[in-house]
Structure 1
Amino acid sequence: MMQTGVQLLTGFLLILPFSANFAELDAAMRAVYLVTVVCSIGATVLLIGPVTLHRILFRRHKMRTLVTMGHLYAIVGTLLLGIALSGVATIIFDTVAGRTMAWLAGGCSLLTLVVFWYLLPLRHRGPADPY
């Protein structure tokens, strides 16, 4: 599900410069846009990467490598996705509500993602369950 969402986000971001109002973005929002695009493309690569890893490594009995690399890809991919989502919030709020609200929305988005995607899960991370 996350793979589809990040692909749609990336596609939307890639066509944005070809819209009529894109030229109205100032230098700061263009920089936010470019960072957002880079993070979204990176997230797409990393969140889809485990599919390729599985295809290449599975029949080679490289399960430990597959799981370790897939885990790393997912962690870094979600981090990049969070930054991209915060960038999108910043750009949208800048357009609709102004610069101050844009920075506030982007910061709140990033903080919320860090709390729910990383801090809360890490808080509940204890010893491994015996399986």
Structure 2
Amino acid sequence: MGEPKKEDPGRDETPLEQADRRWSELLQELRVAQTGVQILFGFLLAVVFQPRFAELGNVDRAIYVITVVLGAGTVGALVGPVSFHRLVAGRTRKPETVAWASRLTVVGLVLLYCTMASAFLLILRVVLHNVLALWLMLLMAGWFALWWFVIPLWARNRADGTEDGGPPDR
């Protein structure tokens, strides 16, 4: 029937080879994110059993509950690609699996962003007991947003415009 169609003229790989490469790259990214999420979530689960937890006011308890729920959602989204791959593996659906896993990873990163901001706010409120906690959290949330979303999206949009004359990396 012939050779498989090449997806990207800038790379010499078939759609399946591209899916394999993208899956390997995604796994490396997930390893980094999952480690941090597991540590953060473990910390969040342990907080409730600390003696000082009883001293938290209603607002701080609400922030804690929101943070734990966001953390659980983050774990679900960042472990989801592994489950998705395992349940779909061997069914000749690698490109679709990679696409879904990539989407789940982005959802997980957005949830991780929210979890980090919420946890940061809770910690700063307990330590500072004043409105400075909110401002510091907003500053850090802005810093995370800049490096996690704004600059990567800017770079992606710049590359999609192929201003450098080369094809976008896929």
Which TM-score applies when normalising by structure 2? Answer: 0.72
Distance 1:130 1:51, change over 3 A: closer
Counterpart in the other structure of 2:168: 129
Counterpart in the other structure of 1:38: 69
For these two proteins, the number of residue pairs brought into alignment is 131
TM-superposed deviation, 1:57: 1.5
Counterpart in the other structure of 1:59: 90
- CA distance in 2 between partners of 1:27 and 1:49 (Å): 33
- CA distance in 1 between partners of 2:80 and 2:38 (Å): 13
Shifted more, 28-37 versus 95-104: the winner is 95-104
Gapped regions of structure 1 (runs ≥ 5)? none
After the TM superposition, which residues 1-131 of structure 1 pair with which residues of structure 2 at under 5 Å, given as runs?
1-125=32-156, 126-127=159-160, 129=168
- CA distance in 1 between partners of 2:63 and 2:169 (Å): 45
Matched residue type, 2:123: I
Q: Residues 17-69 of structure 1: CA distance to partner in whole angstroms, max 9, x if unpaired?
A: 11100011111111111111111111111111111111121211111221111
TM-superposed deviation, 1:109: 2.0
Distance 1:27 1:60, change over 3 A: same
More helix by share: 1
Report percent identity of matched pairs.
31
Shifted more, 37-46 versus 96-105: the winner is 96-105
TM-superposed deviation, 1:86: 1.0
